Amino acid sequence: MKEAGDKRICIGILGFGNIGVGTYQLLEMNHSHIKETSGLDFEVVRILEKDVDRPRPVQVAPGLYTQDADSLLTTPDIDIVVELLGGIQPATDFMLKAMAAGKHVVTANKAAVAAHFPELRQAAIANRVLFRYEASVGGGIPILNALTTALTANRFIEVKGILNGTTNYILTRMAEAGLSYEESLAEAQAKGFAEADPTADVEGIDVANKLSILISLMFGERVAPEDIPTVGITGITPKAILDAAADNSRIKLIAHAKKTAAGIEYNINPMALPLSHPLASVSHEFNAIFVTGDGVGDLMFYGKGAGPLPTGSAVMGDIIEIGKAMAKNSAYDPVVPGGPLK
Amino acid sequence: MKEAGDKRICIGILGFGNIGVGTYQLLEMNHSHIKETSGLDFEVVRILEKDVDRPRPVQVAPGLYTQDADSLLTTPDIDIVVELLGGIQPATDFMLKAMAAGKHVVTANKAAVAAHFPELRQAAIANRVLFRYEASVGGGIPILNALTTALTANRFIEVKGILNGTTNYILTRMAEAGLSYEESLAEAQAKGFAEADPTADVEGIDVANKLSILISLMFGERVAPEDIPTVGITGITPKAILDAAADNSRIKLIAHAKKTAAGIEYNINPMALPLSHPLASVSHEFNAIFVTGDGVGDLMFYGKGAGPLPTGSAVMGDIIEIGKAMAKNSAYDPVVPGGPLK
């Protein structure tokens, strides 16, 4: 068996937008540190990207770019395929093809993971590769890792999450600066916290993808994102914000799931949380996930839910864990983490 | 190779106090859930404990108890030794002996880990076993796992922690009920949050052990707990609490370490934190750890820093991760996580 230390791990990146650049940048920045602490030499050897001329804050050798997906998905010189295209297709088919070819897959793509969770996980097991998606929920916050490793002695009871930085920024600014929804949205767009078409964020669609993934991991049940009753924040008025403040509360867009005797209850709603609740003081673009387990009790994880480097931290964390498992010939999941989906 | 599913993992517990009972209780409560989700059958087969007659909230077959440490440390029928004796010795020697005999070791013992971190870690590497100690810092909060797995793409910059529930309870009650230090301590003792001799908690000695462990993992440097400049909370007056409140702040006992150009700076001090800081609203017996990495930015982990079941959750989490690695023949650390200690 190869000892760690002489192990070079070759990465192919699908899509070189913000998260791809953040991942590349973090690896470049900390390459020697990662090599020293893991004994592994990670290298990006190919990038699938059409728009090679877009100005980016990293220098990439032009020879790394390709427009031939198969040169990442099926060639033997790639160990880990990192899917950062976004959107359900062709991302999902690319991930399935890569796993069928024996590649490990890392993704930040909540839409694809939420839409095809069972198939993607089964593909990893069937092909004896690892499939990891930490960055798909909570950006840089290592919540999925905690749920699937350190906390697995617990039966989970409940999760409440602020899972979308755009809507949390808008609600925070409405409360602290007395802005209307429209004014706050315009400010978020000007600062780059909201997209030109903010629908997926403000209507809760992005949050539904993330809650679907959390429900799968915490409760072992598959709930499609479109089946989660979801109310966004477009109807929140300055009066509602003021009424909450007068009641020592703050309105937050909360993704909620709870185990009950009748089954799993779930929904996404703006909720007034008392200031004493740890989620109430999660402000601006920050995210937080509050989980309750039958052993550990209440836990909260707080951090940056988006941004190139924080999300890159989660992507690189998955890559490094896969590399460590490769060095031990243990890069496969023998059992479905979280149990078989019902 | 054995597939997971037929794997029985045998546990020996050293010391059956609160944490031992919590660990046993959690495993009993969730045994079928853990078996279903991990494919592994964990069983406590021996317990080193003199005081077998003490009333405990779990039923243990009398045949499990022994007073012969070697029957756990060196006999072939034990896979994982769980050290919950507390105190530096004989706990450290027991752990070293168990590892020399090829046993994996899990501990919640911050004093022993902080005092002998390099030897214990080297022993694990030399004997190709796993040594895990999640419960030694932050109780049920899975902070060490995050620092050593999901966050390893980061160079860490800073940590600020509320790492002791006793002192946080005392400070919270002084602020919210206007109690003196002495009154608040008496209340904490009455509620079981403080010991009859509270010295280790209120003087910051317990926190120094935890900060020493965090510094080792985050910065790869060894700082003995007794070398950390430490001020406890015995000098905090009601006036200081009121002055902080008037300044929109709260006094918290903060364990702090930071990387600077000149090296790692570290200390433990009561600090007035502005209410806008996420640590300021961590109340009563809760703990929280605020860490900053160069990729992920600011993160906070919040939860119960003590108690039988929360701490048992961390101990069982370590045990399950070791079991999963055993099922893959990968239960060893090829490289020191966090890099070699300087």
Here the CATH number for the domain that contains residue A116 is 3.40.50.720
* DSSP per-residue letters across A141-186: --HHHHHHTTTTTSPEEEEEEE--HHHHHHHHHHHHH---HHHHHH
Closest CA to A9 of A29, A25, A27: A27
Residues on chain A touching B321 (C-beta within 8 angstroms) = 149-150
Query: Could you give the C-alpha distances from A309 to A28, B153, B293, in angstroms and in order?
Result: 12, 10, 10
Q: What is the pLDDT of residue B5?
A: 46
Number of helices (H), then strands (E), in chain B = 13, 11
| B70 lies in some domain | yes
The arrangement of strands across the sheet holding A80-83 comes to A65-66, A40-48, A7-14, A80-83, A104-107, A131-132
Residues on chain B touching A150 (C-beta within 8 angstroms) = 134, 142, 145-146, 314, 317-318, 321
Q: Which residue of A has its CA nearest to B318?
A: A150
Query: Could you give the C-alpha distances from A48 to A313, B23, B103, in angstroms and in order?
Result: 20, 48, 46
Residue A51 and residue A155 in one domain:
no
Domain that holds residue A213: 146-304
Residue A211 and residue A273 in one domain:
yes
Whether residues A154 and B30 touch (CB distance < 8 A) is answered with yes
Whether residues B314 and A335 touch (CB distance < 8 A) is answered with no
How far apart (Å, rounded) are the C-alpha atoms in residues B115 and B104? 19
Whether residues B34 and A152 touch (CB distance < 8 A) is answered with yes
Tell me the residue ranges of DSSP E strands in chain B: 7-14, 40-48, 65-66, 80-83, 104-107, 131-132, 156-162, 249-260, 263-274, 286-293, 297-304
A57's tokens: 């804050």
List pLDDT tens digits, range B97-123: 999 999 999 999 999 999 999 999 999
Closest CA to A259 of A300, A219, A212: A219
* DSSP per-residue letters across A276-310: TSGGGG--TTEEEEEEEETTTEEEEEEEE--SHHH
Query: Could you give the C-alpha distances from A195 to A23, A102, A202, A205, A270, in angstroms and in order?
Result: 21, 36, 10, 14, 20
B176's tokens: 């919210």
Residue A229 and residue A289 in one domain:
yes
| A340 lies in some domain | no
Whether residues A145 and B141 touch (CB distance < 8 A) is answered with no
Nearest CB neighbour to B36, from listed A33, A295, A339: A339
Which residues of chain B fall below pLDDT 50?
1-5
Nearest CB neighbour to B317, from listed A22, A151, A319: A151
Check if the beta carbon of residue A239 is closer than 8 Å to that of residue A205: no
Residues on chain B touching A309 (C-beta within 8 angstroms) = 294-297
Residue B135 and residue B117 in one domain:
yes
Q: Mind telling me the catalytic residues of A?
A: 210
Q: Mind telling me the catalytic residues of B?
A: 210
Paired with A273 in beta bridges are A250
Q: What is the pLDDT of residue A6?
A: 54
How far apart (Å, rounded) are the C-alpha atoms in residues B83 and B69? 11
Paired with B160 in beta bridges are B256, B290
SS3 B135: helix
Q: Which residue of A has its CA nearest to B296?
A: A310
Count of domains in chain B? 2
Whether residues A313 and B293 touch (CB distance < 8 A) is answered with yes
Check if the beta carbon of residue B206 is closer than 8 Å to that of residue B164: yes
Residue A118 and residue A209 in one domain:
no
How far apart (Å, rounded) are the C-alpha atoms in residues A65 and A45? 9
Residue A32 and residue A58 in one domain:
yes
Substitution target in B30, B33, B34, B37 with the highest count of A β-carbons within 10 Å is B37
Residue A287 and residue A314 in one domain:
no
Q: Which residue of A has its CA nearest to B31?
A: A153
Paired with A65 in beta bridges are A47
B198's tokens: 């509270």
For A8, half-sphere exposure in the C-beta direction (CA atoms, 13 angstrom radius) is 6
Residue A213 and residue A256 in one domain:
yes
Residues on chain A touching B299 (C-beta within 8 angstroms) = 140-142, 301-304
Residue B66 and residue B133 in one domain:
yes
Residues on chain B touching A29 (C-beta within 8 angstroms) = 294-295
Q: Which residue of B has its CA nearest to A37?
A: B339
How far apart (Å, rounded) are the C-alpha atoms in residues A141 and B332? 27
pLDDT in tens, chain A (342 residues): 334 445 899 999 999 999 999 999 999 999 999 999 999 999 999 999 999 999 999 999 999 999 999 999 999 999 999 999 999 999 999 999 999 999 999 999 999 999 999 999 999 999 999 999 999 999 999 999 999 999 999 999 999 999 999 999 999 999 999 999 999 999 999 998 899 999 999 999 999 999 999 999 999 999 999 999 999 999 999 999 999 999 999 999 999 999 999 999 999 999 999 998 999 999 999 999 999 999 999 999 999 999 999 999 999 999 999 999 999 999 998 765 555 555
| A342 lies in some domain | no
Substitution target in A154, A156, A217, A336 with the highest count of B β-carbons within 10 Å is A154
Predicted TM-score of the model (pTM): 0.96
Paired with B65 in beta bridges are B47
Nearest CB neighbour to B303, from listed A4, A299, A330: A299
Residue A125 and residue A16 in one domain:
yes
Helix (H) or strand (E) holding B22: helix B18-29
CA distance B45 to chain A (A): 18
Most distant CA pair in chain A, distance:
66
B254's tokens: 């903060």
